[in-house]
Structure 1
């Protein structure tokens, strides 16, 4: 009975892992199989990515700079640069386009423009510098490994909530067919519970300063929605990737501020 109840969640989680990471899983994509929408599990996928990419923390002899770069590299390899690609495409289109149609067309173009190159350089550099400083701050703590790991999990899990908010409060727009459209879903109350559960659990782990981070993300999400509505009258998959990446930077910034 229990297995039957949780099977839709397991099916949705597997679909989410296959969609948002490069983890090799066999998934039956038959729509007749009852499953929770895969997007519900974005924060859970963040936990998996964080756990698997935290391996450098085991090597305490490594400098924080080296630990941070390998953590970031592993996370990118696990996701296939899924969100980073969205950031680059979104910056090229949203900043470089003259009108809605041109912006959406640019975002469909696989070529990298100057805005894409600048955005990914600054995003990765900021994440590396902030993560390095956070690891250095935790180094003086006897519970260094556990504290750093939970912080890393929080960054990857909570940052994936902001795309869900955008997805559920705006209209989807696209220039032609898009793979992202098949993953769009409006969440009901139980499904929001599934998505929010990791964030609630993190708050219970004495990471009360996450509350400040949540307020910062709320303000950012409000501004992002206004900007996207002005530029393209809605959102697309690239915009969601950009929102997630900027959220990661903001969360790291909030952690650095709290530790300082």
Structure 2
């Protein structure tokens, strides 16, 4: 039990900015570098990151459930739904430190702005944001807002299913990172992502956890979302292998965002009337 607690604590420090230990000050690097500094300053940082991947969907599910419940509270307090969702997306940025969004922006700048492997990796490490990064950040924010709004307005979802839809989508988004880890290799010999290397067997527990979150939404929509997450992970693995030789922490963050948005789209399209 203590081992699982330490692994969860390490995953929590990696994926959120809610402190369980004192975080370092003066962070000004990329999202991957900031996460690495936070873990290095934490007593939980001694746990190998590869052992924490089972907890990533759990933490994602908790964030998604919190988001849904906060939307409900705001709506009950008289806030318009679209405005409530906007505030909840902002609250998520505070909880996670916009870690995945930062990764998406850096990945977009590097993959689409660099002309060769070395330049792409250098751009991803640069804390400055370019045009592709800005567009990716807008896409991530508007995508999350519109997807949450669509889920909340899906007629076939009751209140409980809506909560689980947001929780399941966030869990499957983090599962996408685990799947990518099992399908590819680190692009660098240093950095946070270079410390994580797992086999496909390590995806079983995270997948079962993600499935458990989605059962209330429906078996068929959840199965479709899990299949989509594998396909997206495979596509990202092949594309990044060709562009930069593997994954980085920024690529993992981008995968989480894209997979979560794809899952929300599937849930909204299929509704809550499936098995």
Q: Please, which moves more after superposition, 160-169 or 86-95?
A: 160-169
Counterpart of 2:218 in 1: which secondary structure? coil
1:100 aligns to 2:100 (yes or no)? no
In the other structure, the counterpart of 1:201 is 212
In the other structure, the counterpart of 2:127 is 110
Q: Distance in 2 between matches of 1:187 and 1:249?
A: 25
Counterpart of 1:22 in 2: which secondary structure? coil
Q: Please, which moves more after superposition, 78-87 or 245-254?
A: 245-254
Task: Name the CA shift for 1:220/1:179 in 2 (closer, same or farther; >3 Å).
Answer: closer
1:11 and 1:36 in contact (8 A); partners too: no
In the other structure, the counterpart of 2:194 is 181
Q: Distance in 2 between matches of 1:30 and 1:120?
A: 29
1:18 aligns to 2:40 (yes or no)? no
- CA-based RMSD of the aligned residues comes to 2.3
TM-score of the two chains, using structure 1 as the length reference: 0.86
Aligned mate of 1:69, from 59, 62, 86: 86
In the other structure, the counterpart of 2:26 is none
In the other structure, the counterpart of 1:3 is none
**Aligned ranges 1:107-186 → 2 under 5 Å:** 107-138=124-155, 143-144=158-159, 146-174=160-188, 177-182=190-195, 184-186=196-198
1:39 and 1:164 in contact (8 A); partners too: yes
Deviations 1:160-189 (A, max 9, x none): 111111112211012x7423434x141574
Q: Distance in 1 between matches of 2:99 and 2:45?
A: 24
In the other structure, the counterpart of 1:238 is 250
Task: Name the CA shift for 1:223/1:187 in 2 (closer, same or farther; >3 Å).
Answer: closer
Q: Distance in 2 between matches of 1:199 and 1:84?
A: 21
Q: Distance in 2 between matches of 1:214 and 1:19?
A: 23
Q: Distance in 2 between matches of 1:44 and 1:148?
A: 17
Counterpart of 1:137 in 2: which secondary structure? coil
TM-score of the two chains, using structure 2 as the length reference: 0.82
Q: Please, which moves more after superposition, 16-25 or 53-62?
A: 53-62
Runs of 5+ consecutive residues of structure 2 not aligned to the other structure: 22-41
Aligned mate of 1:37, from 40, 51, 74: 51
Q: How many residues align?
A: 248
Counterpart of 1:19 in 2: which secondary structure? helix
Q: Distance in 2 between matches of 1:109 and 1:137?
A: 40
Task: Name the CA shift for 1:100/1:36 in 2 (closer, same or farther; >3 Å).
Answer: closer
Task: Name the CA shift for 1:211/1:110 in 2 (closer, same or farther; >3 Å).
Answer: same
1:56 aligns to 2:68 (yes or no)? no
In the other structure, the counterpart of 1:88 is 105
Runs of 5+ consecutive residues of structure 1 not aligned to the other structure: 1-5
Task: Name the CA shift for 1:98/1:45 in 2 (closer, same or farther; >3 Å).
Answer: same
Q: Distance in 1 between matches of 2:85 and 2:228?
A: 23
1:9 aligns to 2:4 (yes or no)? yes
1:46 and 1:160 in contact (8 A); partners too: yes
Runs of 4+ in 1 over 3 A off after TM superposition: 33-36, 179-182, 191-194
